[in-house]
């Protein structure tokens, strides 16, 4: 996904081969810091947020995460996704998460393609959000940070 500097929006390239998986765990990982990586990035413009204006929906991207430091009791990996407005602004959730991962907003602005972060190991601060209608618990990415060369958390949240 390309970064358009003029609009601070991340938009997809037409010829890009982005892995597409629509996975959302029913059994969320425990809250807290977990090592993992960004599994995929994809355009998600078909999803309408309740915060979007009806005549002007915001472009969106979905990042999919896989945890490597813990597994479910049955041995399967925790894989979940987070929906973001497609903006690399310092005020956006995506901009803040990428700045935590890459170390600064300068690095975020230097990204040419969002796929540059796919496969990047990181520490993911996982929280839970509860859907009030049916009390379903979903994982939520609260923050990202890099992993140093020794596989340790580079800095505390």
What value does the mean pLDDT of the chain take? 80
More confident residue, 45 or 40: 40
Backbone φ and ψ for 99, nearest 5 degrees, come out as: -65, -40
Residue 154 counted as domain residue = no
pLDDT-based confidence at residue 13 (cuts at 50, 70, 90): very low
For 78-105, what is the mean pLDDT?
Answer: 93
Residue that the structure tokens 């497609």 belong to: 86
66 within 8 A of 59, measured Cβ to Cβ: no
Taking the C-alpha atoms of residue 62 and residue 139, their distance in angstroms, rounded to an integer, is 14
Range of the domain at 128: 2-48+56-145
Burial label for 3, CB within 10 Å (0-12, 13-18, 19+), is: buried
Taking the C-alpha atoms of residue 89 and residue 59, their distance in angstroms, rounded to an integer, is 14
27 within 8 A of 72, measured Cβ to Cβ: yes
Residue 137 counted as domain residue = yes
- Comparing 98-107, 132-141, 144-153, which segment has the lowest mean pLDDT? 144-153
Nearest Cα to 126, choosing from 40, 58, 49, 68? 68
**Dihedral sign from CA coordinates of 110, 58, 95, 116:** negative
Residue 82 counted as domain residue = yes
Number of separate domains in the chain? 1
For 115-121, what is the mean pLDDT?
Answer: 94
Q: Is the pLDDT of residue 128 over 80?
A: yes
pLDDT value at residue 45:
74
Q: Percent of the chain having pLDDT more than 70? A: 72
153 within 8 A of 147, measured Cβ to Cβ: yes
pTM: 0.76
Nearest Cα to 34, choosing from 122, 155, 139, 154? 122
Residue 119 counted as domain residue = yes
Residue 155 counted as domain residue = no
């Amino acid at each position: 996904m390309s970064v358009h500097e003029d609009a601070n929006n991340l938009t997809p390239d037409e010829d890009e081969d982005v892995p597409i998986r629509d996975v959302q765990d029913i059994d969320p990982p425990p809250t807290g810091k977990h090592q993992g990586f960004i599994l995929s990035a994809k355009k998600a413009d078909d999803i309408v947020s309740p915060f979007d204006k009806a005549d002007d929906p915001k472009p969106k991207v979905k990042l999919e995460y896989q945890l490597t430091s813990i597994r479910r009791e049955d041995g399967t990996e925790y894989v979940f996704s987070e929906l973001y407005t497609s903006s690399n602004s310092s005020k956006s959730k995506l901009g803040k998460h990428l700045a935590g991962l890459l170390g600064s907003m300068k690095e975020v602005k230097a990204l040419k393609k969002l796929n540059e972060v796919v496969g990047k190991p990181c520490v993911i601060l996982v929280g839970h959000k509860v859907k009030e209608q049916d009390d379903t618990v979903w994982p939520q990415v609260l923050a990202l940070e890099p992993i140093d060369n020794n596989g340790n958390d580079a800095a505390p949240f």
